[in-house]
Structure 1
């Protein structure tokens, strides 16, 4: 029973620590942009600069306020046109939970054109619409690389030749997270259950005691009732109702005296796609597990690794084994005796959710501590 409460405690702490399982920090994004204007503008393609400020609002969607600027030379002339764009872009990212995330984008804003030299008469602005595709790659906990192709519909007819223009932009840049990742909550200490009242002093709390008036000094079972016929396997269930009279010593049993498996899911221990390297957000969860196993020095566990069904079964088996070994090594390196643990990979063979959805696959990519004793 104590081990069951322990498992529930650790799972609840881990789950609460990562209620927001995505990076919601503000991102500053400078970029280098190659601008290819519509041929109807009579402007030469050129490079410009862009700046963005935004953040993820959930696991998949991000919003960014963006500013870009470029100076175009007039084709066959001595003038130039400065183009400045200011708009809001929304992007939907695929491959949640991985470091490489393709995305599609949609946005709108205003374009301003100001001429100089032979084009000094140009001074106008109007609405623009943007559609894009791109890739975001996380390089570190703070820095990522972004490349994007953007189609821009420019409705500013400053040349008096067309109702709109079809421009293209090809950009490369970085995103820089402002502030530290929010992992401090995950390091919160595990709170043990409050002591329970035991009015009759039989060692069973009043809440679980089915025989609350047992005379002092009388032997009782796990329910606080007088053990009239003994408990030969010492599992807390008296012989007369024990359906599994030869339970393994120290095993967790149910009300019938039969062994049950207690699993502590390390919610929040995640890995980058195709890798067995711990992500920074996983460290606090594992540190909490180290503390719990240190506080309960007799606990013996199996570190179990699981994957979703993406890729082949053989590949997933190998990946789960490597990930389980990484967690095992972390616990050993932080003071947990190796003889208290084993490790094993189960690949894709033990799903707890459907592999047909991104949410289900994310649940199946998990690491567990299976209590052995």
Structure 2
């Protein structure tokens, strides 16, 4: 087969270059049944074969999954090889998958694993060390996913012969079936509106001097990944701003929510709107009149830091207050 390890490296570099988009990973365990096509090494003396496999896995970090993979293929002896019957190869391996992103539309990955290969044929009944490495991708749909990969499998010392170390190519395609219900982010709980006494009619006053139009970045008013709930530090900062706003009723504020670039644009737009509304409702609970505030989301627009780093994405998950005079 013409695909080589050098090809794998080249494809991997291309995947890394095109995988800047990411999204929240699904942390559930899953089952991944698949069918495969094995291009058998000539040392086996058998034809290529269609087989099947099943993997049980779980994400263990933002970039890695671990899997237990079992596979089987039954090969017929090559015509003219002098052999007869079939060769049954049953493999079991522990694999690590490295994902370049968690984009549900296209999540490329590298895979590597070690285990054993049990080979059964006329005059052959043994289990040998085996290792595999390859590349693939995953695409999620509603409740189920599809994935496909290409792997090179090395088998050591077949027939107790140090010179026989077959290298097979295995192409597979199958499903990814998550186990259990999908996680749901809790909706933010709105604080009750305070009951205020009717304000007396204000006495005529001179028009206030124009207030300089500035943007206040609320340090600490950032959000956890895929969340619209306030952190304790964010509440402390908003409490301090509520004091200032109550002392200056002439100030109007535009509350603008943002997200990082992780996830789809439509999802991030809704998440940024939720964050802005969380801040607005919190300030209302602190006595700031609702008609002094507007709230809107800008999604992943106007980043203040790089979305290519974890620290930069944390900075971009924020709410800003834009103040101006009435």
TM-score of the aligned structures, taking structure 2 as reference length: 0.63
Superposition map of 1:1-373 within 5 A: 21-76=24-79, 77-97=83-103, 99-115=105-121, 119=122, 121-140=123-142, 142-158=143-159, 160=161, 162-183=163-184, 185-187=185-187, 189-191=189-191, 245-247=209-211, 254=244, 263=255, 265=257, 271-272=263-264, 276-278=265-267, 292=281, 298=291, 300-307=293-300, 347=301, 350-355=302-307, 357-359=308-310, 362-363=313-314
- Which structure has greater strand proportion? 2
Residues 232 and 168 (structure 1 numbering): CA distance in 2 closer, same or farther, change over 3 Å? Answer: farther
C-alpha distance in structure 1 between counterparts of 2:271 and 2:159, whole Å: 54
Partner deviation per Cα, 1:318-351 (whole Å, 9 max, x = no partner): xxxxxxxxxxxxxxxxxxxxxxxxxxxxx4xx32
C-alpha distance in structure 2 between counterparts of 1:301 and 1:31, whole Å: 52
C-alpha distance in structure 2 between counterparts of 1:30 and 1:283, whole Å: 37
Q: Kindly report the root-mean-square deviation, in angstroms, between the aligned alpha carbons of the 2 structures.
A: 4.3
Residues 83 and 351 (structure 1 numbering): CA distance in 2 closer, same or farther, change over 3 Å? Answer: same
- Residue 290 of structure 1 deviates from its aligned partner by 11
C-alpha distance in structure 2 between counterparts of 1:190 and 1:254, whole Å: 22
C-alpha distance in structure 2 between counterparts of 1:30 and 1:67, whole Å: 10
Gaps of 5+ in 1: 1-19, 196-202, 204-229, 235-243, 308-346
DSSP-derived class of the 2:267 partner: coil
Residues 233 and 48 (structure 1 numbering): CA distance in 2 closer, same or farther, change over 3 Å? Answer: farther
Larger Rg: 1
Residues 74 and 161 (structure 1 numbering): CA distance in 2 closer, same or farther, change over 3 Å? Answer: farther
DSSP-derived class of the 1:158 partner: helix
- Residue 36 of structure 1 deviates from its aligned partner by 1.1
C-alpha distance in structure 2 between counterparts of 1:300 and 1:290, whole Å: 10
Contact 2:30 2:179 (8 Å CA) reproduced: yes
- Residue 138 of structure 1 deviates from its aligned partner by 1.8
C-alpha distance in structure 1 between counterparts of 2:257 and 2:115, whole Å: 46
Contact 1:124 1:156 (8 Å CA) reproduced: no
Q: How many residue pairs get matched?
A: 257
C-alpha distance in structure 2 between counterparts of 1:50 and 1:354, whole Å: 41
Contact 1:190 1:288 (8 Å CA) reproduced: no
Residues 74 and 172 (structure 1 numbering): CA distance in 2 closer, same or farther, change over 3 Å? Answer: same
Gaps of 5+ in 2: 1-22, 198-202, 213-240
C-alpha distance in structure 2 between counterparts of 1:299 and 1:176, whole Å: 49
Residues 264 and 135 (structure 1 numbering): CA distance in 2 closer, same or farther, change over 3 Å? Answer: same
C-alpha distance in structure 2 between counterparts of 1:63 and 1:98, whole Å: 18
Residues 21 and 131 (structure 1 numbering): CA distance in 2 closer, same or farther, change over 3 Å? Answer: same
Residues 277 and 80 (structure 1 numbering): CA distance in 2 closer, same or farther, change over 3 Å? Answer: same
- Residue 59 of structure 1 deviates from its aligned partner by 1.4
Contact 2:113 2:131 (8 Å CA) reproduced: yes
Contact 1:99 1:137 (8 Å CA) reproduced: yes
